Structure formats: C-alpha cells, structure tokens
C-alpha cells in the first residue's frame, strides 16, 4: 500500500464528513455523521467527544486503504474552544445558543474596524467569549489557549496550538480585515496571551500524537495542517486568478464571496461582512441561512419538482417572503410568511423553496455588487432548477457549477497539494427562465421588508 492520501475532516453545521483523497484529487472514501448538539450541561454545545471517537474509528478504516500522509481540519465558523494542557475547560458553545444577560454591546468594536456585523445569538464569537468569561469566570481563568474551531482539532491531533486568519475573520469581532491583525476587542479584553501564534491554513504543525497513531493505525509520520474555515476552503481553488469573480458556497449557509467588490459599500444592517481568505486578503461577503430556510419551506420529505410546478406557483402568485431562519441574513428578525395560495404537496413546497432561495441569492448578489463569473459550490448544485434560474436572472454573470459537489473538500485538499490541478472541472449552466419569472421577481422585491 503506497498510495499517498490526505484525510479532510469537514465539520459543517449540519453534518460532519471525513474524506480520504489521494494526491491526484480522487475521492477514495467518504463517511459522514450528523453534527449533533448536546443540550444537557451548562449550555448547548458541540458533541466533540462523539466526533472524536467517530473520527478515530473512521481513520482506522481509512488507514487500511492508503498511506495517509496528512490530515487537515475544515470547519464552520463562529466557534472556538477554550483549552488548557488537559483539554477543554468548558464545552464548545453552539453559536445558536441563547446568551442571556451578556454585557457586550459597549465592548464590541465598530463595524468600520472589523466589517463584522452585529449578529443575533452567538454568531459573533466575541459575544460568546465575553459571555463565557462573565458567566464562568473561574473556568475561563484556567484557559491557556483560545482556539478557533479548525485549530482545536489540529491541536487535538498534533498537540500544537495555532491561530489562523480565515476563522478569526469570520464575523468574530476579533479581527481587523483591512490591517490583517487582531481587533481592539482582543486588547480590551486582555486576550492576546490566550491566542496562539498565527499560522497560515496550509502550515504543517507537526505529526499526529503517538496516542492518535495507536488509536487510528495511521503512521506516526502523518502530518497535521493548521486548517481553515469552511467557506474559505471553497474559495481556495479560485484564489490568485486576478479577475473579478464571485463564488457562492451553498449548504446550511449560502455565502456569496465577491472578489474585487468594494468594501465601502458593505452594510452592517444587511449582514454584509468582510471575510479573510487563505491568502490573508479581505473579501466582501453576504449570506443567508439558505439551506436551513429551504428545509423549512420544502418540509421533512422534499420531493424534486417539475418546471410545471414552478410555473404554476409563479402564475398563482405564491410568494415566500423572508425569513425562515433565526440566524443572520439581510432580513434577520423578520418572520417569514407565505403570501397567496399555500403549496399543496411536496413538489410545490420544493418549488417554492427553490424560488425563494434563487430570489434571495439574486438579491444578495445585487446588494453585494458582485461581478464576474459566478461559481456555485456545494449542496445546491444538486437542485436541477437553482442554477438555471439564477443564470437567467443574472445574465451579466455566467454561472458554473463545480463538478466537485463539496468545495470544502477540494479546498482542504489544495492546502496539502497547492501546485496540483483540481480534478473537478466546472460545468456551464444554461439559463432557464420559467414563464413569468422576471415579473415574479419584481413582485417579490416589492414585497420584501
């Protein structure tokens, strides 16, 4: 067995994936499990022990299929782990948990410094950390490192603690994207000593701990990379191209990243932000919780619709108006509602959910002043109508689908093999405008808050 391969640990908000990918970018194996939230204990938190045990077991299977030379963690944002030498000092807080009584508003830096909008619940990581420090002062005082979530897994695998800019720059209030340095919140709270040295996402931190090698069967020389925020992993294959372009990462969150879009047009009240990419550059972004909202509208048992289903909903004027998730987006805090005749079956619900997500995406791209080719990554590439309708509404932005359904996996792979060409190409998506689509968009825009 001499096939060189990489394991990508991909922790999304909904699912956890472990992928075995060889040096040519071919998927050798993949396993997944739900990313469950534990509701017992002091507050809702991530089941890191469940993920850890599952990962070790799955890695043992993967170790029998290839010579795994490296592991790279890729995770969702707005999450951090507080650790000492023995492990977690507090459970890893779920960013959708309520933070009652937190005294934070006077502490957070202005939007002009961080381009991190003021978000609900725990979506600003700074608010989570302040709440933990205020609510659990003795435990917080034992903290040796504040680790962003990808770097927590890298530390647990290798024993080396680092910080990394793509996760720090993900609406945390901790990062100044223009200066590419910590924000004033970090010094105000005295957290500089708790944040380990910065490292790029591709940095090799060392090899796996001996006990990890024993538990997994991976060879002792298996390296651990620092890791990256998942939406930024989807951008890696597009970095350094030089042209204005837009990448739409789809999943639980729909995140549009517009290379070259002006930061000065970003608006805090619309959940627009500047993320930091893997090269340490600010990128104008806007997002909404599209996958979550699609699931709410489509129901528990979604059934793919036909073009006729879409045209029937358009003709009868049924509108889904934002928003159908409580977390973030340009219409956060506004209760979603359906105007007109309610969908009658699963196919019509799927049609309405698709129309809603297409129109929300189009709205965000326009507000962002996104330009150039539009590459769509992630789960919505499986929707047969999403890309064609989006392409029809945005003729100035040619739409392509990545042949890799998970841009996060490709991005993680490219951190290990930066000079390689991704095996997955791009498929051009021809525009398709159901009858009445453009008039439907105008009615929808006139009706949104």
Query: Is residue 281 scored above 90 in pLDDT?
Result: yes
Co-location of 258 and 222 in the same domain: no
Going by C-alpha positions, the residue among 271, 237, 212, 291 that lies closest to residue 12 is 291
Does the pLDDT value for residue 241 go beyond 80? no
Cα separation, 288 vs 316, in Å, equals: 26
Residue 163 has pLDDT above 90, yes or no: yes
| CA trace torsion 83, 84, 89, 92 (10° rounding) | 10
Type and span of the H or E element at 400: strand 399-402
Q: What's residue 348's pLDDT?
A: 98
Per-residue pLDDT of 107-141, as tens digits, reads: 999 999 999 999 989 999 999 999 999 999 999 99
**Tokens representing 356?**
């809603």
pLDDT band at residue 1 using 50, 70 and 90 as cut-offs: low
**What is the pLDDT confidence band of residue 368, given thresholds at 50, 70 and 90?**
very high
Q: What is the mean pLDDT of the chain?
A: 95
Q: Which of 178, 209, 229 is the last residue of a domain?
A: 229
pLDDT by residue (tens digit) across 382-421? Answer: 999 999 999 999 999 999 998 766 678 999 999 999 888 8
Q: Assign 425 a pLDDT band (cuts: 50, 70, 90).
A: confident
Are the C-beta atoms of residues 230 and 74 closer than 8 Å to each other? yes
- Of 208, 229, 250, the one marking the end of a domain is 229
- 40 and 102 housed in the same domain: yes
Same domain, 51 and 169: yes
Q: How many Å apart are CA 150 and CA 167, to the nearest integer?
A: 8
Q: Is 378 exposed, middle or buried (0-12, 13-18, 19+ CB in 10 A)?
A: buried
The CA distance from 184 to 196, in Å, is 17
Identify whether residues 119 and 189 lie together within a single domain: yes
Rounded CA separation 128/79 (Å)? 9
Is residue 442 within 8 A of residue 264, CB to CB? The reply is: no
Cis previous bond, 323, omega within 30: yes
pLDDT, position 312: 97
Percent of the chain with pLDDT over 70: 98
Half-sphere exposure of residue 101: CA atoms within 13 angstroms, side-chain side: 5
| Paired sense of beta strands 15-22 and 4-11, if any | antiparallel
Do 261 and 243 share a structural domain?
Answer: yes
Q: Are residues 46 and 85 in the same domain?
A: yes
- Contact between residue 222 and residue 207 where contact means Cβ atoms under 8 Å apart: yes
Under the banding of pLDDT at 50, 70 and 90, the label for residue 27 is very high
Is the separation of the CB atoms in 287 and 256 below 8 Å?
yes
Does residue 358 share a domain with residue 221? no
212 and 262 inside one domain: no
Q: Are residues 300 and 442 in the same domain?
A: yes
Does residue 262 carry a pLDDT above 90? no
Q: How confident is the model at residue 283 (pLDDT cuts 50, 70, 90)?
A: very high
Shared domain check, 57 and 201: yes
CA distance 285 to 439: 27
For the stretch 313-337, pLDDT in tens is 999 999 999 999 987 799 988 999 9
Same domain, 210 and 240: no
CATH number, domain with residue 73: 3.30.420.40
241 alpha-carbon distance from chain centroid: 22
In sequence order, what E strands does 282-357 have? 282-288, 319-321, 337-339
Domain finish residue from 202, 229, 256: 229
User: What domain count does the chain have?
Assistant: 2
Peptide bond into 179 cis (omega under 30): no
The whole-model pTM stands at 0.89
**3/67 Cα distance (integer angstroms):** 6
391 and 243 in one domain?
A: yes
Domain ranges, residue 401: 234-447
């Amino acid at each position: 067995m001499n096939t060189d391969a990489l394991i990508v640990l991909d922790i999304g908000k909904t699912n956890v994936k472990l992928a075995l990918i060889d040096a040519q970018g071919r998927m050798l194996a993949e396993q997944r499990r739900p990313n469950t939230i534990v509701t017992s204990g002091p507050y809702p938190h991530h089941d890191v022990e469940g993920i850890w045990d599952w990962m070790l077991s799955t890695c043992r299977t993967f170790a029998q299929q290839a010579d795994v030379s490296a592991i790279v963690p890729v995770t969702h944002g707005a999450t951090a782990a507080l650790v000492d030498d023995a492990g977690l000092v507090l459970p890893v807080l779920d960013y959708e948990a309520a933070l009652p009584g937190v005294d934070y508003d006077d502490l957070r830096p202005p939007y002009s410094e961080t381009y991190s909008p003021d978000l609900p619940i725990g979506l600003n990581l700074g608010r989570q950390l302040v709440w933990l420090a205020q609510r659990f002062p003795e435990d917080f005082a034992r903290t040796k490192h504040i680790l962003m979530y990808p770097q927590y897994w890298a530390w647990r695998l290798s024993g080396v603690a680092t910080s990394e800019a793509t996760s720090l720059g993900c609406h945390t209030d901790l990062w100044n994207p223009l200066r590419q340095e910590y924000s004033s919140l970090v010094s105000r709270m005295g957290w500089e000593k708790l944040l380990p040295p910065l490292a790029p996402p591709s940095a090799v931190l060392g090899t796996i701990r001996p006990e990890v090698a024993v538990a997994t069967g991976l060879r002792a020389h298996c390296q651990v990379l620092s890791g990256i925020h998942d939406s930024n992993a989807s951008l890696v294959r597009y970095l350094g191209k030089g042209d204005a372009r837009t990448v739409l990462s789809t999943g639980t969150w729909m995140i549009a990243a517009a290379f070259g879009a002006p930061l000065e047009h970003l608006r805090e009240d619309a959940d627009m932000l500047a993320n930091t990419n893997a090269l340490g550059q600010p990128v104008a972004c806007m997002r909404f919780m599209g996958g979550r909202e699609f699931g709410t509208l489509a129901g528990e048992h979604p059934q793919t619709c036909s073009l006729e289903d879409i045209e029937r909903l358009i003709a009868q004027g049924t509108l889904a108006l934002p928003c159908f998730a409580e977390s973030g987006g340009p219409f956060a805090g506004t209760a979603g509602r359906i105007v007109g005749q309610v969908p009658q079956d699963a196919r019509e619900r799927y049609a309405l959910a698709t129309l809603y997500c297409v129109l929300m995406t189009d709205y965000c791209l326009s507000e962002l002043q996104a330009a150039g080719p539009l590459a769509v990554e992630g789960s919505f590439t499986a929707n047969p109508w999403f890309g064609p309708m989006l392409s029809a509404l945005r003729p100035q932005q040619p739409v392509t689908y990545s042949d890799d359904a998970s841009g996060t996996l490709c991005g993680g792979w490219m951190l290990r093999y930066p000079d390689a060409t991704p095996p997955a190409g791009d498929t051009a998506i021809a525009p398709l405008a159901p009858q009445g689509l453009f008039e439907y968009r105008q009615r929808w825009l006139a009706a949104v808050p």
